[in-house]
Amino acid sequence: MKRSIFVISILVILSMLLAACGQATEAPAEPVAPAEEPAEPGEEMAEPAAAEVVYDRSETLYVSGAAWGPPSTWNPFQPGSLANTTGTLGFVYETLFDYDPMSGTMTPWLAESGAWVDDNTYAVTLRDGLTWSDGEPLTATDIAFTFELAQQYTAMWFAPMWDYLTSVTVIDDLNLEFAFVDPLYQEWENNLYNIPIVPEHLWADRTEEEITVGANENPVGSGAYLYETHSEDRNVWLRNENWWGIPVFGAPAPRRIVDIRTSSNNVALGMVLKGELDLSNNFLPGVAELANQGYVDTYFAGAPYMLSANTAVLFLNTTKSPMDDAAFRRALAFAINVDDIVNVAYANLVAAASPTGLLPNLDTFIDHDLVAEIGWTYDPAEAAAILTEAGYVMGDDGFFNAPDGSDIALEVTCPFGWTDWMEAINVIASSAQAAGINIQAVTPDYGAWNDALQGGTFDMTLNNWAALSNTPWTLYNLLFRHPIQDVIQSGNFGRYDNAAVFDLVDALATVQSTDVAGMQAACSEIQRVLLTDVPMIPLWYNGLWAQFSSAVWTNWPMDGSASPTLPTTWSGYWQLGGLNTLINLEPVVAE
């Protein structure tokens, strides 16, 4: 017996040692691609203090809800993968402009100013004194280099821009010009706050593979934060004390940011209750209750508690009967009880969407008269009337049959495990059934669902990629993406084929953003098609989930603040005001 105790304790200790060895190799990752070598330490680099392995609570910001997997890549040109290293674009790499959805304006960021010199030339003047974190200056050469990467490699996501961009000319260190032929003004402006600028002196010698898909470990950028370390469930960013933006915008308050990845939302909920998170961008169930009880604060003190982040759209597969019939689609729009989705499925954390699909920040482009005239509301009687008029006949089972007599049995899908969507499609199915349309809610696994989405084999399903944007064009470009291919990955999943509306969307892209009236007119025409033909149904605005605690950091943006910004850490949102939130934060002064 004694021997077995001995053996067992040896084994236990061995396993702990093994674990310890494994963890000790965590801290800085060994580079797979060539590491960023600092050229010469011209100025002093901000290095993390060697002994700093325990973070001071009052200097650290703990956030969650942005990363969903272990960090694996810091390549700013891979928007999808950046979901797990959310600060790469925004903290480390920056863009020429920022966009503030709250005020609807483009803020010059790296650029000091940018303007259309004439219809085909865009001139940019950079700020003076921009630097990279390794001390080198950021000049127009870097900008030109970054843009020209997409000319060389078609795998860059903004390569299509070179269809109408002809050349980038560097005039001097701070000035450059972009020359176009028939520019898509809307796309260009959208790109201005989405294209990260990378250092030419470090990237010029990289191979195509490294640039397009390399991991880019230990990234060197121009931004307010530096990469410090990471592990399976966290990213740690350290403030760049030499950031060029400090005299311009102010320094972001937290010295360190720990971006935590939890295995699911309810774990984040537990951490919020324990006070371990400052900002949580997860969808937390019951957060309305928590806000009422004072555990957390949210942007709005009452419903819908959250700002709106993207539009959840129900895509209808127009290649299948009866969804190829506009009357059926329109009737369906009247049959869905969006209020139940808002009140029951989401417990008032979201808001119903405009039938045009545009988010509130683009309200100027919603043609309200048109919506009042031909928009829809929840009205099952109207749905029935439309169907009957179109030749659908109510069967004995209480469900409508197609005009040719065939049964209608459809499925609305979402990935299994996306709990809020699962409840939403339950509401869609049950309200449709109540109106006489036989729709069942089905929840396949993500892989199968995604295949059906991209392959166009689904009946109807949800998608919410139409996110906050500076222009209505991005939404309509997503909804009416063309040309239609066998495998569709980026919009128009219902394969709605309408050359007229495609032309309208293309025309919208060519309207100058200063021409508000022109944009409104173009949008109005697109919306007319959307409201009459109803190829897809915008249902609700998903929330910009944000719950924050004022225990350690205060002055969070809330409704009624002087100049509120977006309280979010989501990838792709730092340039939408997320970084400004950090700049405005204040530490709670200990009494």
Partner 1 sequence: MRRYFGRKFLIYGLTFFLAVTVDWLIPRFMPGDPISNILSRSLLNAEGAQQMYDYYERVFGLDLPVWQQYLNFWGSLLHGDLGISAYLFPQPVTRVIWRAVPYDAFLLLPSILLSWWAGNKFGAYAARTKRLDNTILPIGYILTATPYMWLGILLAWIFGIVLGIFPIAGAYSYSMQPHLSWLFIKDVILHWFLPFASLFLVGFGGWAIGMRNMIIYELEADYSHYLEALGAPRSLIRKYAFRNAILPQLTGLALQLGVIVAGALVTEVVFSYPGIGYLLLSAIQNQDYFLIQGCFLFIIIGILIANFAIDIAYVIVDPRTRMGMLGDSS
Partner 2 sequence: MIERLRNNEFLFFAFRNKRLRVGLFIVLFFLALTLVGPLLAKYDPSEYAAYGSHPPSAEYWFGTTTFGQDVFSQFVLGLRATFLVGMIGGGLGTLIGVVVGFTAGYNGGIIDEVLNILTNIVLVIPTLAILLIIAAYLNVRGIVAESIFIGCTAWPWAARAIRAQTFSLRTREFVDLSKLSGMKSGKIIFTEIAPNMMSYLVMTFILQFGGAILNAATLDFIGLGPTSTISLGLMMQYSVLWGALQLGQWWWFMPPGIAITAIVGAMYIMNVGLDEVFNPKLREM
Query: Does residue 416 bind partner 2 (CB under 8 A)?
Result: yes
Please, which of residues 198-217 interact with partner 1 by CB under 8 A? 209, 212-215
Query: Does residue 55 bind partner 1 (CB under 8 A)?
Result: yes
The one segment of 2-10, 344-352, 366-374, 522-530 that binds partner 1 by CB under 8 A: 2-10
- Minimum distance between the CB of residue 233 and partner 1, rounded to whole angstroms? 6
- How far is CA 547 from each of CA 58, 257, 295, 544, 573, rounded to the nearest angstrom? 19, 16, 9, 10, 16
**Does the N-terminal peptide bond of residue 483 adopt cis geometry, omega within 30 degrees of 0?**
yes
Query: Does residue 65 bind partner 1 (CB under 8 A)?
Result: no
Site size for partner 2 (CB under 8 A): 27
Which residue, 193 or 283, has its beta carbon nearer to partner 2?
A: 283
Question: If we measure between CA atoms, which residue out of 319, 365, 310, 363 comes closest to residue 508?
Answer: 365
Six token digits for residue 536? 């897809």
Six token digits for residue 125? 């003047």
Question: If we measure between CA atoms, which residue out of 266, 260, 275 comes closest to residue 64?
Answer: 260
Query: Does residue 232 bind partner 1 (CB under 8 A)?
Result: yes
Taking residues 20 to 39 in sequence order and writing x for each that binds partner 1 by CB under 8 A, - otherwise, the string is: xxxxxxxx----x-------
Query: Does residue 447 bind partner 2 (CB under 8 A)?
Result: yes
**Does the N-terminal peptide bond of residue 322 adopt cis geometry, omega within 30 degrees of 0?**
yes
Write a three-state SS string for 225-255.
Answer: EEEEEEECCEEEEEECCCCCCHHHHCCCCCC
Which residue, 345 or 522, has its beta carbon nearer to partner 2?
A: 345
- Minimum distance between the CB of residue 99 and partner 1, rounded to whole angstroms? 18
Contact of residue 366 among partner 2, partner 1, none (CB under 5-8 Å per partner type): none
Which residue, 151 or 266, has its beta carbon nearer to partner 2?
A: 266
When binding is defined by CB under 8 A, the residue of 270, 275, 302, 455 that contacts partner 2 is: 270
The packing angle between helices 419-434 and 326-335, to 10°, is 110
**Which stretches of 390-437 are DSSP H helices?**
419-434
Q: Nearest 5°: phi and psi at 524?
A: -60, -40
Question: How far apart (Å, rounded) are the C-alpha atoms in residues 537 and 425?
Answer: 13
Contact of residue 8 among partner 2, partner 1, none (CB under 5-8 Å per partner type): partner 1
Query: Does residue 326 bind partner 2 (CB under 8 A)?
Result: no
Six token digits for residue 538? 């915008």
- Minimum distance between the CB of residue 56 and partner 1, rounded to whole angstroms? 8
- CB count, 10 Å around CB of 169? 13
Which residue, 285 or 395, has its beta carbon nearer to partner 2?
A: 285
Taking residues 202 to 221 in sequence order and writing x for each that binds partner 2 by CB under 8 A, - otherwise, the string is: --------------------
Query: Does residue 455 bind partner 2 (CB under 8 A)?
Result: no
Contact of residue 442 among partner 1, partner 2, none (CB under 5-8 Å per partner type): partner 2
Residues 6+ apart with CB under 8 A from 371: 354, 355, 356, 527, 531
Question: If we measure between CA atoms, which residue out of 182, 540, 149 comes closest to residue 346?
Answer: 540
- Minimum distance between the CB of residue 547 and partner 2, rounded to whole angstroms? 12
When binding is defined by CB under 8 A, the residue of 363, 445, 503, 559 that contacts partner 1 is: 445
- CB count, 10 Å around CB of 412? 23
When binding is defined by CB under 8 A, the residue of 85, 265, 565, 568 that contacts partner 2 is: 265
- Minimum distance between the CB of residue 424 and partner 2, rounded to whole angstroms? 11
| Secondary structure letter of residue 486 according to DSSP | S
Residues 6+ apart with CB under 8 A from 464: 310, 311, 312, 313, 542
Query: Does residue 445 bind partner 2 (CB under 8 A)?
Result: yes
- Minimum distance between the CB of residue 471 and partner 2, rounded to whole angstroms? 36
When binding is defined by CB under 8 A, the residue of 40, 44, 49, 54 that contacts partner 1 is: 54
When binding is defined by CB under 8 A, the residue of 111, 198, 220, 260 that contacts partner 1 is: 260
Residues 6+ apart with CB under 8 A from 368: none
When binding is defined by CB under 8 A, the residue of 49, 181, 372, 487 that contacts partner 1 is: 487
Six token digits for residue 307? 């700002």
CB 187 within 8 A of CB 215: no
- Minimum distance between the CB of residue 69 and partner 2, rounded to whole angstroms? 16
Q: Nearest 5°: phi and psi at 314?
A: -95, 110
Footprint of partner 2 (CB under 8 A): 264-266, 269-270, 273, 284-286, 289-290, 340, 343-345, 347, 416-417, 419, 423, 426, 442-445, 447-448
